[in-house]
Amino acid sequence: MIRVRYHRSVSPSSRALTRPAFLMVKLGEWTAARFVERLAPLGLRPRHLGAMHLISERPRSQLELAQTIRVAASVVVDMIDELEAIGAVRRKPDPADRRRFSVELTDQGRNLLMAADTVSREVEAELLAGLDPTLRRPLTRALRELGRSRGILKPTHPPSPVPTSDSQAFPSRRAATS
């Protein structure tokens, strides 16, 4: 166990502001606000992306989506309604069960998912810009391990690349500076 010694002039309430849980909450709020702001012009919200990624793998029923992303079926219905309204998905009758609909990603949905991935990488690069590049990979590994240990991430989630420079986070900048 690591013990941290504080100077006597540091109050207990000030110490709380340096604890990992508090820092992660504040960084999460900052990141979420940027992500929401940057997705809005695409007509997307963060909650849409998990469903879109799953649907991009193969068409799925609304019930299957609800069970996989662990939300109420009514939440998935709302999400699919929103995605359908912007042309990102379409519902089709399930050939195996006429009472059920299968949801599939449209070409517009694939384009939006690629644009959202770009937004995600840009927000990530903005977040990590103040961090020494040699610390980015260990931080990402530690966060993944925490996510897995808390059941937030499944061990099978593929790791996303961690940009170590602006040219990796923004490929267009590399081309422009080459």
Find out whether 109 and 89 touch, Cβ atoms under 8 Å. Answer: yes
The upper half-sphere exposure of residue 62, i.e. CA atoms within 13 Å in the direction of its Cβ, equals 20
* Whole-number pLDDT of residue 178: 39
Residue 103, judged by CB atoms within 10 A of its CB (0-12, 13-18, 19+), counts as buried
Q: Which residue has the tokens 């997705």?
A: 39
Residue-wise pLDDT for 59-73, tens only, equals 999 999 999 988 999
pLDDT score at 164: 44
Report pLDDT for 173: 38
Q: What is the pLDDT of residue 166?
A: 43
Alpha helices (H) along the chain: 12-16, 20-39, 46-57, 62-69, 73-85, 107-128, 133-149, 166-169, 171-177
Cα distance between residue 165 and residue 136, in whole Å: 10
Domains annotated on the chain, with CATH:
44-128 (1.10.10.10)
Length of the chain: 178
Tens of pLDDT along the chain (178 residues) come to 555 555 555 565 677 778 899 999 999 999 999 999 999 999 999 999 999 999 999 999 999 999 998 899 999 999 999 999 999 999 999 888 888 889 999 999 999 999 999 999 999 999 999 899 999 999 999 999 999 998 887 654 444 444 444 444 444 433 444 3
- Supply the pTM of this predicted model: 0.72
Instruction: Give 41-61 pLDDT, tens digit per residue.
Output: 999 999 999 999 999 999 999
Q: What is the pLDDT of residue 16?
A: 75
